[in-house]
Amino acid sequence: SNTLYLRVRIGDIGDDLYVILIADVSEQRRFEAVRRDFVTNVSHELKTPAGAIALLAETIGDAADDPDAVRYFAGRVTKESKRLTELVQHLIDLQRAQASQGVMDVERLSAVDVARAAIAENHVQAEARHVDIRLSVNGRPVSASEDDEEQPETPTTEGKGGNESVKSEPMIMADREAMRTAVKNLVENAIHYSPEHTTVAVGVSEHDGKVIIRVVDQGIGIPEKSLDRIFERFYRVDPARSRATGGSGLGLAITKHCVQENGGRISVWSREGEGSTFTIEMPQAPTDAGGNASDDTGD
């Protein structure tokens, strides 16, 4: 039953001219099953906040003469809507990552630029939770801000001192969007699963022909038995907590997909109560011969 026979009649030449295609479709069947599971999961994930919003709206209606209650429930509606929005954004990211197979826009990129863009996307959440995001390159602290004009952290003796480090930035060959999405999700999680007033350290470094992008948090950590499951779609260590804080369960699956599609690897170290470290390892881009100055330091 895993074999598909297809008889195709060719043209109008005669009655007996057919091509018979025989295909093993067991792989497709497996794929179908995975897809069905995925759709079931997505439907469930969408229904939960949507149902909550409906219920909360009803409650607001009932509590119309109690301003405190109205404020409280309105706040929860906002939270659930944000969850919906994040889930939809993650679905779009996942779809994009999967559809991109083979048609990625691979270019020479500064891994530091990628890290800065990913940090910028988490700026608001980090500030709201008083989480300090730091960036370092080969162990040296640099500005985490995308705005290159102000690099206050490294006092420079000569005016152009800042550009020196830019020139030696670790370079990778990858799709910019995919890599930014990958790192963005790691930083998002690092903030999500950390107490307020902690630090998230993003480090970019070179080692043995590899470029390492590392995201280190001082958060709740991940139990050992969950470590090899967290990259699965919709897997969560603590579903209640993750949902309450807005997690979609898709972030790490997207990250892993993006990294692997670009020839890299991802790994995790974690200890409960101490924090987690996610490490992306990318092949280093071959050095550009002839002093090609096309590596843009801006945008």
Binding flag, residue 133, ligand ADP (CB under 6 A): no
Residue of 144, 276, 280, 285 interacting with ligand ADP (CB under 6 A): 276
Alpha helices in the chain (DSSP H): 26-62, 67-99, 111-121, 123-128, 161-167, 176-192, 239-244, 251-261
Q: Which span sits near ligand ADP by CB under 6 A: 30-38, 62-70, 201-209, 243-251?
A: 243-251
Number of residues engaging ligand ADP in binding (CB under 6 A): 24
Q: Whole-number minimum distance, CB 234 to ligand ADP, in Å?
A: 8
Distance of closest approach, residue 63 Cβ to ligand ADP, in angstroms: 31
How far apart are alpha carbons 28 and 157 in whole angstroms? 62
Report d(CA 251, CA 237) in Å as an integer: 13
Minimum distance, C-beta of residue 241 to ligand ADP, in the bound complex (Å): 7
| Residue from the set 250, 258, 282, 285 that interacts with ligand ADP by CB under 6 A | 250
CB contact at 8 A, 210 and 282: yes
Please report whether residue 217 would count as binding ligand ADP according to CB under 6 A: yes
Asked if residues 7 and 20 have their Cβ atoms less than 8 Å apart, the reply is yes
136 binds ligand ADP (CB under 6 A): no
252 binds ligand ADP (CB under 6 A): yes
- Which of the ranges 66-74, 119-127, 159-167, 228-236 carries the binding residues for ligand ADP, by CB under 6 A? 228-236
Burial of residue 65 (CB within 10 Å: 0-12, 13-18, 19+) is exposed
Least Å from the CB of residue 242 to ligand ADP: 4
Q: Does residue 236 bind ligand ADP (CB under 6 A)?
A: yes
**Among residue numbers 183 through 202, which ones bind ligand ADP (CB under 6 A)?**
185, 189-190, 192-193
3-state secondary structure of 251: helix
Does 230 contact ligand ADP by CB under 6 A? yes
Q: Which of 180, 242, 256, 261 binds ligand ADP (CB under 6 A)?
A: 242
CA distance 223 to 3: 43
If the CB atoms of residues 141 and 195 are measured against ligand ADP, the closer one turns out to be: 195
**What sign has the CA pseudo-torsion 132, 138, 139, 141?**
negative
Q: Residue 126 Cβ, how far from ligand ADP at the closest point, in Å?
A: 13
Q: How far apart are CA 213 and CA 170, in angstroms?
A: 10
> Scanning the structure block, which residue is given the tokens 């807005």?
246
Whole-number Å distance between alpha carbons of 269 and 27: 33
Q: One-letter amino acid identity for 276?
A: S
Residues that bind ligand ADP (CB under 6 A): 185, 189-190, 192-193, 217, 219-222, 230, 235-238, 242, 247-253, 276
